[in-house]
Structure 1
Amino acid sequence: MTSIGRMGYSDSDATDGLGFIYKNNSLLYEASLMIGASTTQVSNNTRNDSGAADQHFAKKIRVYKEDDADVAFTGISEFDDSLSPKPINITVKNTVRAYSNSPDDKYVITEYELKNKSFNALSGIYLGLFTDWDVDKNGNDIALYDVFNRLGYVTSKFGGTSYAGVKLLTTTGIPIFNPMSYEIVGDPLEDRNGFSISEKFLSLTSGIKSTSLGENAPNGYDVMFVSGTDLLIFLQMVR
């Protein structure tokens, strides 16, 4: 985990971190947080349309380990979106938990608790993770969504690889699943570097855009996806 919301790597180009390692293979290239309020206001640390990544989150409390007898690891950090040119004015407490015993050793839980720093109540806020799983090193992937389990995942078009994905644990909000690939004409990622703020907000607000991507392509695609939920409650200011 990191102190700025990313998972796997602290930097956007799969550096400064271990990724997500399973059976000695790192399956993850990017996992980054996006919190959207409008087409011009998305606080995030995801790849952008200038060949780099947005860096909107500022560290407030560096990651620290908390003792917890029930889990193998509990890490906590806190950051806000004060580095955004158009901040929503929120603070995020990020808690990550990992387990050592089977079958719970095959996942980690990441929790984002949002607090409003402004003097106005907030509504219509969306939160999602952009993930780029590399389970097939040749990019012959398919992305699928299990509606019942609120689980988006990626595996190889031709089998023989791991399955990796993100499951939404809350049941109070409307789930989001938006699969994408730069190999598809008209896709937000079509030119590899074209993920603008407005496109990020659209990816957060499209609900379940599709339950699969790459299944009907002969070789699949190099797929990514956004998964998350809308925040139905108003975020009241913290005094």
Structure 2
Amino acid sequence: MALTNYGVIGDSAAGGWFIYPLGAQGAKNHLFQGSLLVATGAGQVSDVSYGGSPFISSAIVFDTDFTVIPGGNIELDNPGPLADQEITGAFNDSRAGSPLKVEIHQRSFAWSASEDDSYIIVEYSISGSADSNLGGVYAGQHLDWDVNDNSDNDEVAFESSRGLAYMYDTSNNAFVGHVLLTQAVTGFRALNFLDDIQDGFTGAEKFGAMTNAARDTIVAIPDDWSELLAAGPVTLLPGKKAVVAYALVAGPTVAELRKNAAQAKVRFTELATAQGIDLIPPWITFTPITAVDSGFRNYNFSAAAGDDTYLAELRLFWHEQGGSGAWSSAVAAQKPFSDSLTAQIPSLPAQAHIDYYWRAIDAQGNYGYLPQGAPAGEYFSLLVADKTAPVISKTAASPDTSGAGPGVLLSTEVVDNNLTRVFAVLQFGAGQADDTLDLLASGVHIFSGLVQGLPRGTQVAYFIVAADSSGNLTTDPQSAPLQTLSFEYLPIVPGDGDSNGKVNVFDLIALIRVLGGTLTPTWEQSFALDLRHNGKIDIFDLIELLKLLSANM
């Protein structure tokens, strides 16, 4: 395989160079060109991959952000201290339009033993400023494979559980790809030359590919494809380096490719130990919260986390069980006078069932999870319990004026998010059974019901009960049934001008006095004598009252 000291792998100007099977008669080159990418955002991507401007007259243009630094010339050790062959070089991104001011020391490792001769490990040691941290740094490899030296017949696959991206052609006799050996995969994308590259491969497109959700992928449409596999984020600390490593791997079958990728991971673990590379994830401790009360604006979750070197971030993820699968998240921050870190989940609806987990990242980009099986399927579970009881107010009893019939109207205001029933318990004195009256919604938070059919003058004690779907229950008065409200059953009878509960000639006298101006009616009398329900008492109401008296004779 051809390596450079300016971020290019398999220089296209020199014919690419990833020969497989090595040493075999008729072995072919499978790589057009590859590149390292380092980025913190769409506006800060340093790389030597395809350029952001459209290709004119099919002339391929590459970015040239990396340049060799003093002492960074290619050096070949054959054998090297840790492998049968090692190649080193160093460069920075000083030629970028918006440089990250990073320095990269590249080192490759290869072995001749049969179990190791189908992969090459490429290690990037990235360092930043000498006096400040640079966080949120992503690194990626973009490899434009031309399997069997043919660019138009390739297919692509990505296996997230292995961190393995690879390509092959319809002959199925060679599988080539790269596997991430450090960090978690933060992005994978299969890129089509005509659709994604030829019109310009912009910084936004590169960073999007480096940070998109990496899912298992199979692109079984033969064409000119390339693949980008990214890792991070890492934090560059003053005087420290973050290491990102890949293995370029090959095999005659996909099963052999996977076996070789697994062997490369074993080898890299040995290399990391020998070089003191941190592969230990951060630790997290947390007492699971299984239930919270609904109705709060925010829910605080606190955990302790740390790392042997530097904890870059602790983040809480959550989503509703059975939802679309999209996860919300919040970064945990340290509160004053506390050793723990706290993240907030915003208000949740009552009865919601939430899955959640913690993720910690250190400067090297190692991920630690709690529960440890997250995010693959093991989570903490949270029930948002409705512990807030309904609130009852403005309870009243008054003669009904709706025209629904003689009776006393009970009304109350009840506020609750999951209200199921509002009712009144009516008590009629010793020796008599209690009765219940359901109060139905008659306005915003207003519930009412009509008491009818009681003997006039009946003394009624009552209280209101409101219940919600979580079993919370409230009464008005709060100490009911020990304490109750009360009313006297005095419904308004149409035509009852003297408020005695019956219609007779004395009511006719009362109406005549009202018309004559010698009686000022109470509001109950006014409602009873306004038989036409037009808001006034006149001669036409007298006619209606005469009809009532005639009907009662």
Coarse TM-score class (shorter-chain normalised): 0.7 to 0.9
How much has 1:71 moved relative to structure 2?
A: 2.1
How much has 1:197 moved relative to structure 2?
A: 1.2
Aligned to 1:39: 42
Query: Is 2:84–2:110's contact at 8 Å kept on the other side of the alignment?
Result: yes
How much has 1:72 moved relative to structure 2?
A: 2.0
CA RMSD of aligned residues (A): 1.9
Aligned to 1:123: 135
> How do residues 2-13 of structure 1 correspond to structure 2 at under 5 angstroms?
2-9=4-11
- Of 9, 19, 23, which residue of structure 2 is paired with 1:21? 19
Distance across 2 between alignment mates of 1:87 and 1:118: 15
Q: Which runs of 5+ in 1 are unaligned?
A: none
Aligned to 1:141: 154
Distance across 2 between alignment mates of 1:26 and 1:77: 23
> Equivalent residue of 1:102, what SS?
coil
> How do residues 187-198 of structure 1 correspond to structure 2 at under 5 angstroms?
187-189=195-197, 192-198=198-204
> How do residues 68-217 of structure 1 correspond to structure 2 at under 5 angstroms?
68=80, 70-117=82-129, 119-136=131-148, 137=150, 139-156=152-169, 158-170=170-182, 172-183=183-194, 187-189=195-197, 192-208=198-214, 211-213=217-219, 215=220, 217=221
Q: Which runs of 5+ in 2 are unaligned?
A: 22-26, 56-60, 241-553
How much has 1:160 moved relative to structure 2?
A: 3.5
> Equivalent residue of 1:149, what SS?
coil
Distance across 1 between alignment mates of 2:151 and 2:124: 33
Distance across 1 between alignment mates of 2:31 and 2:193: 17
AA matched with 1:151: L
Structure 1 residues 178 and 118, CA gap change in structure 2 (3 angstroms): farther
AA matched with 1:97: F
> Equivalent residue of 2:204, what SS?
helix
TM-score w.r.t. length of structure 1:
0.86
Distance across 2 between alignment mates of 1:195 and 1:209: 22
Structure 1 residues 97 and 146, CA gap change in structure 2 (3 angstroms): same
How much has 1:182 moved relative to structure 2?
A: 3.0
Distance across 1 between alignment mates of 2:130 and 2:46: 15
AA matched with 1:134: D
4+ residue stretches of structure 1 with deviation over 4 A? none
Query: Is 1:90–1:118's contact at 8 Å kept on the other side of the alignment?
Result: no
How much has 1:210 moved relative to structure 2?
A: 5.2
Distance across 2 between alignment mates of 1:72 and 1:225: 28
Distance across 1 between alignment mates of 2:193 and 2:10: 22
Distance across 1 between alignment mates of 2:231 and 2:203: 18
* Richer in helix (by share): 2
> Equivalent residue of 1:34, what SS?
strand
How much has 1:209 moved relative to structure 2?
A: 5.2
Cα deviations across residues 135-163 of structure 1 (Å, max 9, x unaligned)?
1515122110122221100011x233310
Distance across 1 between alignment mates of 2:141 and 2:223: 20
> Equivalent residue of 1:62, what SS?
coil
Cα deviations across residues 101-157 of structure 1 (Å, max 9, x unaligned)?
11211110000010012643111111001111111515122110122221100011x
> Equivalent residue of 1:126, what SS?
strand
AA matched with 2:52: D
TM-score w.r.t. length of structure 2:
0.39
Question: Greater Rg, structure 1 or structure 2?
Answer: 2
Identity level (%): 25
Cα deviations across residues 28-58 of structure 1 (Å, max 9, x unaligned)?
0011111111111101001113331110111
Query: Is 2:151–2:223's contact at 8 Å kept on the other side of the alignment?
Result: no
AA matched with 1:235: L
Distance across 2 between alignment mates of 1:209 and 1:36: 21
Match status 1:65 vs 2:76: yes
How much has 1:202 moved relative to structure 2?
A: 0.9
Distance across 2 between alignment mates of 1:86 and 1:154: 33
Which is bigger in relative contact order (C-alpha 8 A, separation at least 6)?
1
Structure 1 residues 161 and 2, CA gap change in structure 2 (3 angstroms): same
> Equivalent residue of 1:75, what SS?
strand
Query: Is 1:20–1:27's contact at 8 Å kept on the other side of the alignment?
Result: yes
Q: How many residues were matched structurally?
A: 223
